[in-house]
Structure formats: structure tokens, C-alpha cells
Amino acid sequence: MIVQVVLWVVAIVVIASAVAICITAIRFDRPSLALLSTPPVIVGLVGVALGSGVPAPSTVVAVIAGILLALLGIIGGSPITSAVLSFSCRGNVPSVDGAHGGIVVTEGTAPGIRRAEVLRGGTIIGFLERLALIAAIVLGRLEIVVVLIAVKGLGRFSELDSPEIRERFIIGTLVSLIWAGACALLIVL
């Protein structure tokens, strides 16, 4: 019983630390820092896959861990997605952030060069998307996930006119959904 309690306390401290790292990454605009929050999720998924789960000593402890994992999935998705986008694009895709949460792209050629912000509100949409995904998985309503992805794709369809923007949209969406899904899976299991 004592080992069980110690393991859960350590897990809660590690998950809370991962949330704090993600908040720090957002606050100081250092998305790659958030990658330090991935080991607890990876270790948790590997542990679950190997069947080495330790039951929670109480419902309160399980709820606290679940809430922290949900926060990690919602908050951590933003800097982790940004870090993966930076790595995957390596300067090939516009990465200038716009004033409204989108990306600034250059359109046209000289002398008619115009800068425009596309995929506006992406940060807020990402937070809401991850919240909805985690809630859907925890509630066991996977049809909501399908609707969520369809709505996002249809809502952004008119902005996906260049290969660079489509690439950024697809990579960003997949990373965000995979991260939130992994955290939700840990909550459920």
C-alpha cells in the first residue's frame, strides 16, 4: 500500500511538473522546452501497454491525476505542436506568428508582395480542439472526435490554398490531436 501511494504521488508530481514546463514554454515562447513534458506520457503509455498499471490508492488521487493529465493534454499541445512544426519545416514554411494567432505568409511577387495572416485563431482553436477531444475520449463518445475533425477541416478549407499552409495545417492538427489523445488515453486507462 505504501509503495502504491508513493508511486502515485511521484506520478502526480511528475505530471504537475510537466504542466508547469508547458506553461513556462508558452510564457517564454520556447516551444522546444515543452518536449521535456513528453517522457511522462511516453512512460505512462508504455507502462499501460505492458500491463504494469498500479491502481490508485483512492478516487481523489485518481481524479487529481486525471485533471493534471487533461491539463497537460490541453496546455501542452500548443508548445509541443509549435516545436514539432519548427522541426519539421526547418525554414521551408512561414513560421512568423501573426497578431491574431495565425501565421503570416507572403503572397505574390515583387513589386506586388503582400503579407497576410492565415489560419487565424489557431492557438485558441487548438486549446478548444484538445479540450473537446479529451472530453470525448474520457466520456467514450468517439463519434465526437470524427465531428471535431470534420468541422475543423471544413472550417479551414478556404484558407488551405497553398502547399505550405496545407502542410502546416495537417502537421499541426495531427500533432495536437495525437498529444491530446495520448493524454486522454492515460486518463481512461
What is the average pLDDT score of the chain?
Answer: 85
pLDDT at 93: 46
The number of helix segments (H) and strand segments (E) in the chain equals 6, 3
For residues 112 and 162, is the Cβ–Cβ distance under 8 A?
no
The Cα 81–Cα 62 span in angstroms is 27
pLDDT above 90: residue 167: no
Higher-scoring residue by pLDDT: 143, 162? 143
pLDDT band with cut points at 50, 70 and 90 for residue 155: confident
Segment 34-62 shows an average pLDDT of 91
> Taken in order 128, 130, 131, 137, is the CA torsion positive or negative?
positive
Q: List phi, psi (to 5°) of 103.
A: -120, 150
pLDDT at 168: 80
Cell 507572403 belongs to: 106
The Cα 122–Cα 189 span in angstroms is 30
State pLDDT tens for residues 83-110.
998 888 765 544 556 665 566 666 555 5
